[in-house]
Each structure stands twice: as C-alpha cells, then as structure tokens.
Amino acid sequence: MKLFVTEGNPHCLKVLAAAELIGVKCDVSHVNHEERVVPHLSRPTLPALLLPCGLHLFTPNSICRYFFETSGHESSNLSNQWLEWEETELQPILAQALYMAVLQGKGAEAAQALRGPLSFLESSLGNRGCRFLTSDEEAVADIVLWAALYPFLSDPDFTAGALPQVRRWFQSVSLLDGCENAAYTVLKGEGLNALSGFLQKQPVPPSPRRDTKNSTQIELVVLAEESQRVMTPEEIEAAIQTWSRGLAECPDPVSRERPILPQEDLRNILITSALPYVNNVPHLGNIIGCVLSADVFARYGRLRGRNVLYVCGTDEYGTATENKAREEGISPQEICDKYHAVHAAIYEWFQIDFDFFGRTTTSHQTDIAQDIFWRLHERGYLLEDTVEQLRCESCQRFLADRFVEGVCPHCRYPEARGDQCDKCGRLINAVELQDPQCKVCKETPVVQSSKHLFLDLPKLETQLEEWLEKSLRAGDWTVNARQITRSWLRDGLKPRCITRDLLWGTPVPHPDFSDKVFYVWFDAPIGYLSITANYTNQWEKWWKNPEQVELYHFMAKDNVPFHSVVFPCSLLGAEDNYTLVGSIIATEYLNYEDTKFSKSRGVGVFGDMAMDTGIPADIWRFYLLYMRPENQDSAFSWADMALKNNSELLNNLGNFINRAGMFVTKFFQGCVPEMKLMDEDGQLLAQVGWELHHYIKLLDKVRIRDALKCILNISRLGNQYIQVNEPWKKIKGGDMDRLRAGTVTGVSVNVASLLSAMLEPYMPTVSATIREQLRVPECSAYSMLQDAGKFVCALPVRHRIGTVSPLFQKLEPDHIEALRRRFGGQQPEEEDPKQQAGAQAEASPEPGASSAPVEVVGIGAGDPEMAKQLAQAVAEQGERVRTLKGQKAEKAAIAAEVATLLDLKKQLELAEGRVPEPAPQKGKKK
C-alpha cells in the first residue's frame, strides 16, 4: 500500500492525520503538486492511495474512510452525513476562503465566508453535546472536518465569531495521537502561508453560490441559539456530588525541602530549560521559549503532587564572553559574574520559581564534562581528525562559530553564522560558508588546519534510535521537536567536533589537546548535570536514575537537535546509566511587532526593560503565555497586550472574581451564605468541571497556551451566570429570592477559589492575592487539581473571606503607545516618515475609523496642533535623557532613550513643515 502526498496541500492533512491516528502501515511518498499518480485521471489529483488490489483511491475522504475501516470502524450514518456535508457544502466555501486568505490577503472576507458553515457546526455540536461530532469517540468525520478547517482554526488571528463548541471540539481532535504531527508535516508551522504554492496551481474557485435557503437549513437544525455545551443529567448529578464532598479528602503537598530528591512512590519530574547565554540580556522571546514555559509546567506539576526539580543556569563559556571581557577590560569570569546576576534578577522578577539557578563555570562542570569525555574516549566513541578552520590574520585567532558570517551554502541566506543558519536552521561548518567575513574586522579569513576530536555519532546511532523510539512514543514531545529529530535521523548522523581552539571553556583533559577547550554544544548540556551537582551532592539520584526520573527539556526549536541527538549520544556513549531525555517541549519563535527581536538594533523588549514599564510581572506572564508560539510563530504587540489585559483580565477574569467577592462582602457581611443548588447551578458546576478537566488534560500534555483558555472560559461562564441570575436584585426580594442570591453568590465565590488554583502556574501573584482576599484554605489547590480535576465547594457556608479589592488595572492607550515608541528601536532609515506615522496611527489601540488617515495628511502638511504636542514630548524626552546621563545609567538604556528623542525630533520637524535633516550617522553601533 502506498500513499502519495504533497506538502502544503490541505487535503493531504486529512489522510496523514487519519493514517497516524489509526497507525496504518503504509509507504508514504512525497511527490510534487504536478505529479500524475492516478493513471486514469487526466489531472494530477493528490492525495492518492494505491490499494493492495491495484486500484487507486483518489479522494481524501475515501482514503480516510478506508483507514478507519481497516481498524474496524465503519462510518456510521451520522459520520457519513458529516462527510457528505463537508464534500458538498464546506469544500466549495473553503476553497474560496483559502483563495481569498492566502492569495488575495483578504483574511477578513475569508472569515466572513466561513461564518455560515462554522455556525452550523457550532450549533450542531452544541445540540448534540458529545465530545466529538457523532459520539464521545472520534469518527472519520472528525478527522476530515478537523483537517479541512485546520488552516483557519489553528491560526491565532482567525475570528469568525465566538465559537466555543467548535474550539473545544477542534482542540479535542488536535489532542488525538498524530493529528498535530500531520499538521506540521503539511504546514511546516507556517500556517496558511504554507498553502500558497499549492493554491497558486489550482484553478480560481468559483464564487460560492448564494444559497439563500441555506440559512433556513441552519435554523432548522439550531434548536437553541445559546452556544454553551448542554450537560447531561448524569454529568450534572456527578458534578453536584463532587462539589458537595468539599475539602474532606485533602492531600498533603509534596515537600520542597532542600535537597529535593527522587522518591519511591511519586512521579519524579526533572525539568530543565535551555541555559541562556550569559552576556545577552534575555528578551521576551527567550523568556517565553524556555524559562517561563518550564516554570508553568513545574508549578503545575507541584500542584499536581509530583516531585519536581526545576534547574537552569547561565551558559558562560565561549568566545562571546571572552570578547566582551576584552572590550570591557575585565576578566571573563568577572563578566560572567556580572551578567549572571543580571539574569538571576530578571528571572526573579518574572517569578520564575527555579529550584536552583546555577551556572556553567564551576568545578563540577569541569569534573563531570571531563569524566564523560574520558568515558567516551575509553569506549572508542571519539575520533581524531584534522579540521580546516577559518583564521583571521588581522585578529590573530581562529574564528569560531559566531565570529564568522557568510552566505549559507544551503539556502543562500546572506547572514548565516559559522555554525548554523538562522534562516533554514541547518548546521554549517564554518569553512562551507561562501564569502566568509570576520565579524569583528570584516576581513576575509584564511583556511588553516588543526587537529580536533569528534564524537562518533554514526557509531551511536542505533542505540540512539532505540531510545528515541521509546521516548517519542511515551513522552510528550512537541510536534516540531519530533519532526526536527526525525529529519536528523533520516539524513543520517555524522561525527561532530567537540573541541575548539579557545581559552574560555572547559579544558580538554587529553594531553594531545591541552591547548583546546570543549565545544559549547558538548559542554553546555552537561551544565544541567553540573548545576544539579551544585544544588546537591546527591545529583546522581536525578541524573543516573532512568527508572525513576522523567526528564523534560524546554527550549526554542533551534535547540532541539542538540537535546534530542547530540546530548543523548554523549550520555549513551558514556555508558553510565544516565537519565535520558523523555520529552522535549520546543516553541516556535516570538516576533516583536512583526519583526525580530534584535539587541543590536535595539528592537524589542528585554527582560530588564519589562521591569521598568510599571506593568506587573504577572501581566507580562499572562500575555506571553497567552501568545505562546505553540504551533506557529506569534508576535508580541503592545496594542494587543493592552487589549488582552483590558478585555480578558480586567473585564472577564478580574471582573468575575471581584464581583463574586464583593457580593459576599456587601450582601452577606463577608461570610459565604447558605446555598440551595438548583438545576442551573448544577449546569454551571458541570460546565466548570468540564473546563477544569480539559485544563488538566491539556497541561498534562504541556499545552500551556490552550490550557490558559480554559481558565478564561470558566470566568466567562461565571460572568454569564451572575448576569442571568442578578443576585444584586434578588437580595432585595423575599426569602426565596434572597436564598437564590445567596446560592449564586456562594457558587460564584467558590468558582473564584477554583480559578485561584488554576491560575497559580500562570500568574502566581494574582493567584496568591485571590487566595488571600477570599482566605482560600491552603490545601484547596492541591485537592482540586488531583486526578482528572475536582471542582469542590472549598469555601463552605459561613466561611469568612478577607478584604476584596480589584485585581487588575486598565492599560491606557497613551501609556502603551508611549512604551511602544520607547521600545520600538530605530526605524529602518529608508522608511518614509509619512508611512511610518501612518503605521503608528494604525497600530494605536483605538483606531477611530477616520482618524488615522487624517493624522497622516496632517503631518505631511504641517500640523500646528500636532507640532505643539510633539514639542512637549521632545522636551520631556530630552529631560529623561539628561537625567539618565546624570545617573550614569546603562549605556544601552541611554541609547534607547536617545533614539526615541531623535525620532520625536524628526517627527516634530515634519509636523512643523520643515524638511528633516539627513539621518545622523549610526555611530552607536560597534
């Protein structure tokens, strides 16, 4: 059996997902869009399946049906009906929508076109009330519809109305084995854009027929307009029972007494986040990619009663440090000491709750790295070879990795680094670079040879594959981590150099290589071990204990091969019973307002700057986690951050919790009132329970961003519940009404206490504040997050709460706009200032429909009002710069302020109708 597919073809997603889910054994062949696979069809038609009988299946849905049939699942009537609907109703509209969204850039129109079918799906799911389309088990129709809609529904920017049922169903299918994996194969994490090649080759789809009566069909099926999941009487009954159990059975939290060591009867989770390089201040992308994501998972694990050890530290060796030290005229160690403290302070501010935050320049690092080296050497896993290396004659040194730049030999990206290309992600040997340049003096380096040691990866490949097969099956690897690892194995492993001609590093103990140090990618991951060794002398209980310990690595996707291939090979080759990788959680990239973060250009928000914005750390955590680049790249945007803060935190979450608490205080003298549960209360309990259950399922699979949505869904449900029941009116009524007001208040304040538990991993301070305000018992979080999640009445009748006050503050557009300007970095010089002003106006959080264009014209023509405002801003900014200089502030901070000042001056000149002077020389850059 042979399956023919092609990348970037949305129909192939269906068949790949079905094949992975069922575990079909078939040969998958990737062909190009034009290949004619099915002999009797005159047009190329993909995907196609060559059946054992010699016939071809040439429609994606029939291929999916077949895969399901081979596992004994014949498609039911209902499933057939959905498939036929997908083929005849959805596909024509979808073809049109894809065309508009991808090739015409009309995302909003595409979303509009899809509203009809999506709301039909929404109401059908709501009426049926099952997990999946036809029942609580997935059917072939689920896979087909999921895959058909995937390009849109997985796009974080896609909006076609609130679709809570569709979103929930979509997520349930996404969690099935292999589905996300298939999506990654087809879309490569690029979202809709990955489809453009395919769509360009398709005929222009006809406009969807205006089927006026279609809407009546939808209405026919929509019985209840309300889109909430209707819970069954059994579910409601179960929810009420759970609720009434209260906090009776309260487990003890797992002790965090130092040193934390693996325990016999617990799940022992060892969490690492990629070690940040010491001489860069981390930016928001670094923070969400590693330390923050791992922190959420670690906190969650502790709440779930797991025995967690979370370690991280600064990666301190390498040329960059050496160079920085020379620049500042101090020793490399002093540089490391200085920046290690900077890192530690930033992470502390972000409330990253490490069990230990160490560093790699320690004697444990030398001991452990050298021990692993000798063991590899004794077992014959090291090779000796002469290497041609680039040497810069004018700088008098070998140019390691990042000190040489040139054209990527694979993808022709002009700024590829000596070890890896940022564009295509492939690893490079510096000598392979075309037109190499010394980064420091811009001279062309010469090739010189020198003797080096190599880790013999081909010899370890079989062992590695055996391990990975187990680990990939049992662990929670993200899709990109799986794909990157698989592609490395598929390409075949090559020996990798582990030594470098440098001074600042772990010395190679071999006498023949005494003037060399270990290459950072051999050395740095060993940092995880040595940092743990600095935490406890019993570190081997974590690192040489594969039976008891589950190891999770968190990182951005560019780090995957080193953690899934190179590092495990070092440990396997050392043959010392090391704990090997169990799961790799890799993120895609976070961009800054649609460009890259860049320290040298001053673009983006860096950890230290975030601290100066006056915005609390929890708000940063929330927004970064809300935008976490889980399946595809995402972008940090100031305007969006303000929007999310004001809509989700202030109006949704904060509003609900505050109202619940205020009702208790105002109407019931601060004590939880008597409650008598009615049907609709049971309905709410069941719905909240369902979200809690989903939250746990998602976080168990490290789907951090998606799980956050469950929290927001609960507070949305809570707000609706209060709104419908109007306790503030009922409290003024008779006894029955007053009892009703009491019940609604009591249930609401208990939902708030559940939210405090669910929020802990995401927003620890807010969580603690809620617990303090409501005086939530210590053990309630542990109790409610056990097993599949239990929403219990943790604040019983007569429980006295504390003083309630608002949790969040509005982020005002002016404040945000000022921050955006401050951190925008220098705009590219060639950009037309008019456009620039226009872009800013568009991005402002409140785009009054007509104000943007007017403003642009105003600036161009000279606008006295604008000029006045700008003159004021220039004066203020000038003062700020003078103060900073007076305080002898950080150079970088001053430079950023100066850039803002120059930018403002330029705008002022324009507003006054003067021609701006030519841009000043960029002397700041080194």
Partner 1 sequence: MALRELSSLEKSLGLKKANKYSTQGDRKVPVLQNNNGLSLTGLATIATHLVREAKQPELLGVSAEQRAVVQQWLEYRVTKLDNCPKEEVKTVLKDLNQYLEDKVYLAGNNFTLADTLMYYGIHRIVVDLAVQEKEKYVNVSRWFDHVQHYPGVRHHLPPVVILRNRFYASAHH
Q: What residue ranges bind partner 1 (CB under 8 A)?
A: 39-43, 51-53, 55, 57-59, 61-63, 65-66, 69-70, 74-75, 77, 80-81, 83-85, 87-88, 91, 209, 211-214, 216-217, 220
Nearest distance in Å: CB 601, partner 1? 52
Pick the closer one to partner 1 by CB: 49 or 744.
Answer: 49
Pick the closer one to partner 1 by CB: 89 or 109.
Answer: 89
Q: Rounded to the nearest 5°, which phi and psi values hold at 805?
A: -145, 160
- DSSP lists the bridge partners of residue 419 as none
Pick the closer one to partner 1 by CB: 85 or 349.
Answer: 85
Give the CA diameter of the chain. Answer: 93
Pick the closer one to partner 1 by CB: 14 or 500.
Answer: 14
Nearest distance in Å: CB 92, partner 1? 9
- DSSP lists the bridge partners of residue 434 as 407
Pick the closer one to partner 1 by CB: 18 or 619.
Answer: 18
- At 306, the amino acid letter reads R
Strands (E), 381-445: 382-392, 397-398, 404-407, 416-417, 434-438
Pick the closer one to partner 1 by CB: 141 or 758.
Answer: 141
Nearest distance in Å: CB 45, partner 1? 10
Coil, strand, or helix at residue 20? helix
Q: Is 226 exposed, middle or buried (0-12, 13-18, 19+ CB in 10 A)?
A: exposed
- Strands 446-455 and 382-392 come out as antiparallel
Nearest distance in Å: CB 3, partner 1? 13
List all residues 6 or more positions away from 66 whose beta carbon is below 8 Å from its beta carbon. 49, 51, 57
The two three-digit tokens of residue 594, written as one number: 């649609």
Pick the closer one to partner 1 by CB: 42 or 669.
Answer: 42
List all residues 6 or more positions away from 671 whose beta carbon is below 8 Å from its beta carbon. 664, 798, 799, 800, 801
- Strands 268-273 and 549-556 come out as parallel
Nearest distance in Å: CB 819, partner 1? 52
Pick the closer one to partner 1 by CB: 116 or 445.
Answer: 116
Nearest distance in Å: CB 75, partner 1? 8
Pick the closer one to partner 1 by CB: 55 or 446.
Answer: 55
Nearest distance in Å: CB 82, partner 1? 9
Q: How far is CA 144 from CA 45, 85, 126, 869, in A?
A: 17, 11, 19, 56
CB 24, CB 70: distance < 8 Å: yes
Nearest distance in Å: CB 77, partner 1? 5
* Closest among 164, 120, 128, 177 to 145, alpha carbons compared: 120
Pick the closer one to partner 1 by CB: 205 or 858.
Answer: 205
Nearest distance in Å: CB 21, partner 1? 16
Q: Is 386 exposed, middle or buried (0-12, 13-18, 19+ CB in 10 A)?
A: exposed
* Closest among 757, 777, 804 to 656, alpha carbons compared: 804
Pick the closer one to partner 1 by CB: 63 or 584.
Answer: 63
Nearest distance in Å: CB 22, partner 1? 12
How far is the C-alpha of 916 from the C-alpha of 909, rounded, in Å? 6
Task: Catalogue the long-range contacts made by 111-119 (C-beta closer than 8 Å, 24 or more residues apart).
Answer: 111/152, 111/158, 111/159, 111/160, 112/160, 113/208, 114/152, 114/160, 115/160, 115/161, 116/214, 116/215, 116/218, 117/89, 117/90, 117/93, 118/149, 118/160, 118/161, 118/163, 118/166, 119/161, 119/163, 119/218
Nearest distance in Å: CB 259, partner 1? 57
How far is the C-alpha of 464 from the C-alpha of 461, rounded, in Å? 5
Q: Rounded to the nearest 5°, which phi and psi values hold at 862?
A: 90, 110
Nearest distance in Å: CB 61, partner 1? 6
Pick the closer one to partner 1 by CB: 59 or 444.
Answer: 59
Q: Rounded to the nearest 5°, which phi and psi values hold at 113?
A: -60, -30
Pick the closer one to partner 1 by CB: 91 or 765.
Answer: 91
* Placement of tokens 């979080």 in the chain: 781
Nearest distance in Å: CB 562, partner 1? 44
Nearest distance in Å: CB 214, partner 1? 5
For residue 259, cis peptide bond before it (omega within 30 degrees of 0) = yes
- Strands 56-57 and 48-50 come out as antiparallel
How far is the C-alpha of 658 from the C-alpha of 806, rounded, in Å? 6
Pick the closer one to partner 1 by CB: 84 or 328.
Answer: 84
* Closest among 561, 293, 513, 215 to 387, alpha carbons compared: 513
Nearest distance in Å: CB 123, partner 1? 14
Pick the closer one to partner 1 by CB: 60 or 445.
Answer: 60
The two three-digit tokens of residue 126, written as one number: 């709501």
Coil, strand, or helix at residue 598? strand
107-128 helix and 164-174 helix, angle to the nearest 10 degrees: 90
Pick the closer one to partner 1 by CB: 39 or 511.
Answer: 39
CB 582, CB 468: distance < 8 Å: no
Pick the closer one to partner 1 by CB: 55 or 854.
Answer: 55
How far is the C-alpha of 588 from the C-alpha of 154, rounded, in Å? 14
How far is the C-alpha of 267 from the C-alpha of 271, rounded, in Å? 12
Nearest distance in Å: CB 50, partner 1? 11
Coil, strand, or helix at residue 450? strand
Nearest distance in Å: CB 234, partner 1? 21
How far is the C-alpha of 166 from the C-alpha of 172, rounded, in Å? 10
Nearest distance in Å: CB 58, partner 1? 7
Pick the closer one to partner 1 by CB: 81 or 786.
Answer: 81
